[in-house]
């Protein structure tokens, strides 16, 4: 964080400053801001956020031991550290982030990119960060820091030397993207796609589209909206951008896109495509598995070009990205038994893409195994969408479908109803039971996909399998 005095922070946070030790109102603080006491470094700011299962105020002592210079709290705590008492630490965090970004932007070099979409945000963010990081100092979210807490924490990492700030913007209800994007008014807004992820919270896919459009509405006049030409709900956002003086750059497969993918081939060693960028053809080999990641790469490249990066330089950097993110199409195990751990998140679109990737990378003499858990936040479409995935798995002729968890039972029932032989699909209530089965079942030549939403916990099952068959 840029250096601010305690008085400035208290004023920005609309809080009551309670000094400790030798601190004065003019004492400057410039350490990193975090809600995790374990991540605090000397001089840092600890945000004591109340949570559903615990309370950050209980960890202020631990943060002080790590060297915290300041605690942002909702109630005073008897710990030896200066504290600023506010009504709502999340709101205070947002106000602080807005001011820090505004001050860095006023120096004239910072440009901000916002990224949203039902799928692909984190992968696209990581790809774009890799490209921009070679051009200038770049700040991007850790993991999936894209909510009311994570996004401001990312923003607060900006300093006077930061040239690019990438903000991943997620939401599970209307208005959340508008609030977060409004803190930084992006120069470039990227909308990847509109799908059923979080549809339950939004109340349907059309309301999801309206929520994603909030990013386009937040891009500053003269900025750029990077839109997916192949998604009609995204392409419908173009008039909103143009009405605000925001230009549109398209990525996709259609002829109208400035960045197009002409051919896509997926193998066990990666994903190959030919990109056409403003009429110029560029060969691209991604180490990241999956045809769906070509879209993410195109989005990242389109945003980078909008920021002045040479497209060939951007493509060359994309080719060196080895992993989209932990637990996202992460290749584990060995050549003998290959584990693809993609169990950090799952929507119907992402689940379908992962299953098709499994089919594409499994060669002659090899066996496909799909280990599938629940997709969350689908609302009243929960059963129907799980049934669709069960049908797809069978129709892709996956010979071993392992379904884990009661929330995914509809997927299992659909698979056995559609299946052509006994034992094609099996069900286990817990990940431990599934592991015991798979430890005996997997054999040389198996290609295993582990896919579920984060809450289902199968990412840890994927880790166990990866280690067991390494």
CATH number, domain containing residue 393: 3.90.190.20
Q: Are both 211 and 350 inside the same structural domain?
A: no
Residue 405 inside a domain? The answer is yes
97 plus 83 within the same structural domain: no
Q: Which of 53, 87, 121 is the last residue of a domain?
A: 87
Residue 188 has what pLDDT?
98
pLDDT tens digits, one per residue of 280-294: 999 999 988 888 899
Least confident interval from 10-14, 31-35, 139-143: 139-143
Tell me: do 306 and 278 sit in the same domain: yes
Residue 57 lies in a domain: yes
Q: What is the mean pLDDT of residues 265-280?
A: 91
- What mean pLDDT is predicted for residues 209-236? 97
Identify whether 324 is part of a domain: no
Same domain, 158 and 296: yes
Residue 358 included in any domain: yes
Could you tell me the residue range of the domain that residue 173 belongs to?
Answer: 92-318
Query: 205 in a domain, yes or no?
Result: yes
Report CA 49 to chain centroid distance, whole Å.
22
Using one digit for the tens of pLDDT, what is the confidence trace for 416-437?
998 867 779 999 999 999 999 9
| Strand pairing report for 16-18 and 82-85 | antiparallel
What mean pLDDT is predicted for residues 243-251?
97
CATH no. for residue 39? 3.40.1390.10
% of the chain exceeding 90 in pLDDT:
80
Chain segment 159-169, per-residue pLDDT in tens: 999 999 999 99
In a domain, 145, yes or no: yes
Write down the mean pLDDT value for the chain: 93
Q: Are residues 226 and 288 in the same domain?
A: yes
Paired with 427 in beta bridges are 403
pLDDT classification of 381: cutoffs 50, 70, 90:
confident
Both 151 and 164 in a single domain? yes
Q: Is the pLDDT of residue 126 over 90?
A: yes
Do 147 and 244 fall into the same domain?
Answer: yes
Residue 67 shares a structural domain with residue 127: no
Whichever domain contains 123, its CATH number is 3.40.1190.10
Same domain, 133 and 249: yes
Asked if residue 203 has pLDDT above 70, the reply is no
Shared domain for 455 and 359, answered yes or no, is yes
pLDDT in tens, 21-45: 999 999 999 999 999 999 999 999 9
| Residue 241 CB contacts under 8 Å (≥ 6 apart), including other chains | 216, 219, 225, 227, 247, 248
Most confident of 164-178, 230-244, 335-349: 230-244
Number of domains in the chain: 3
Asked if pLDDT for residue 198 goes beyond 80, the answer is no
Q: Is residue 403 part of a domain?
A: yes
- Which of 87, 105, 121 terminates a domain? The answer is 87
- How many whole angstroms separate alpha carbon 272 and alpha carbon 319? 10
| Domain assignment present for 182 | yes
Q: Clarify whether residues 180 and 266 are in a common domain.
A: yes
Q: 81 with 111, same domain? A: no
Last residue of a domain, one of 258, 289, 318: 318
What's residue 119's pLDDT? 86
Q: Is the pLDDT of residue 200 over 60?
A: no
């Amino acid at each position: 964080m840029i250096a601010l005095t305690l008085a400035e922070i208290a004023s920005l946070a609309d809080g009551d400053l309670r000094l400790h030790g030798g601190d004065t109102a003019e004492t400057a603080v410039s350490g990193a801001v975090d809600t995790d006491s374990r991540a605090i470094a000397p001089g840092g700011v600890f945000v004591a956020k109340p949570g559903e299962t615990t309370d950050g105020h209980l960890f202020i002592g631990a943060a002080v031991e790590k060297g915290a210079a300041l605690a942002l709290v909702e109630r005073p705590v008897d710990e030896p550290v200066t504290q600023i008492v506010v009504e709502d630490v999340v709101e205070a965090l947002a106000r602080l982030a807005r001011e820090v970004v505004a001050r860095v932007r006023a120096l004239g070099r910072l440009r901000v990119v916002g990224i949203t979409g039902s799928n692909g945000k984190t992968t696209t963010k990581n790809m774009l960060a890799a490209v921009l990081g070679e051009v200038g100092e770049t700040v991007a979210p850790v993991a999936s820091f894209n909510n009311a807490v994570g996004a401001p924490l990312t923003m607060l990492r900006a300093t006077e030397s930061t040239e690019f700030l990438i903000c991943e913007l997620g939401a599970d209800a209307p208005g959340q993207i508008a609030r977060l994007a409004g803190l930084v008014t992006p120069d470039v807004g990227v909308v990847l796609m509109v799908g059923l992820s979080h549809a339950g919270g939004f109340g349907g896919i059309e309301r999801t589209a309206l929520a994603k459009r909030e990013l386009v509405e937040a891009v500053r006049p003269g900025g750029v909206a990077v839109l997916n030409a192949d998604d009609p709900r995204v392409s419908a956002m173009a008039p909103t951008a143009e009405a605000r003086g925001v230009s549109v750059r398209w990525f996709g497969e259609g002829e109208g896109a400035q960045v197009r993918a002409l051919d896509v081939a997926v193998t066990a060693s990666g994903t190959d495509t030919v990109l056409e960028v403003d009429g110029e053809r560029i060969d691209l080999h991604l180490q990241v598995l999956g045809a769906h990641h070509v879209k993410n790469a195109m989005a990242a490249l389109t945003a980078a070009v909008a920021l002045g990066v040479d497209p060939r330089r951007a493509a060359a950097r994309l080719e060196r990205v080895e992993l989209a993110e932990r637990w996202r199409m992460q290749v584990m195990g060995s050549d003998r038994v290959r584990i693809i751990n993609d169990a950090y998140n799952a929507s119907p679109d992402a689940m379908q893409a992962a299953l098709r990737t499994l089919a594409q990378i499994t060669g002659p003499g090899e066996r496909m195994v799909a280990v599938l858990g629940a997709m969350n936040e689908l609302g009243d479409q929960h059963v129907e969408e799980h049934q669709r995935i069960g049908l797809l798995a069978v129709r892709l002729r996956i010979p071993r479908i392992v379904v884990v968890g009661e929330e995914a039972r509809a997927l299992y029932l659909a698979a056995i109803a559609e299946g052509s032989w006994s034992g094609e699909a099996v069900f286990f209530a817990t990940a431990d039971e599934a592991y015991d089965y798979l430890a005996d079942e997997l054999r040389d030549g198996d290609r295993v996909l582990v896919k579920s939403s984060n809450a289902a916990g199968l990412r840890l099952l994927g880790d166990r399998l990866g280690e067991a068959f390494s």
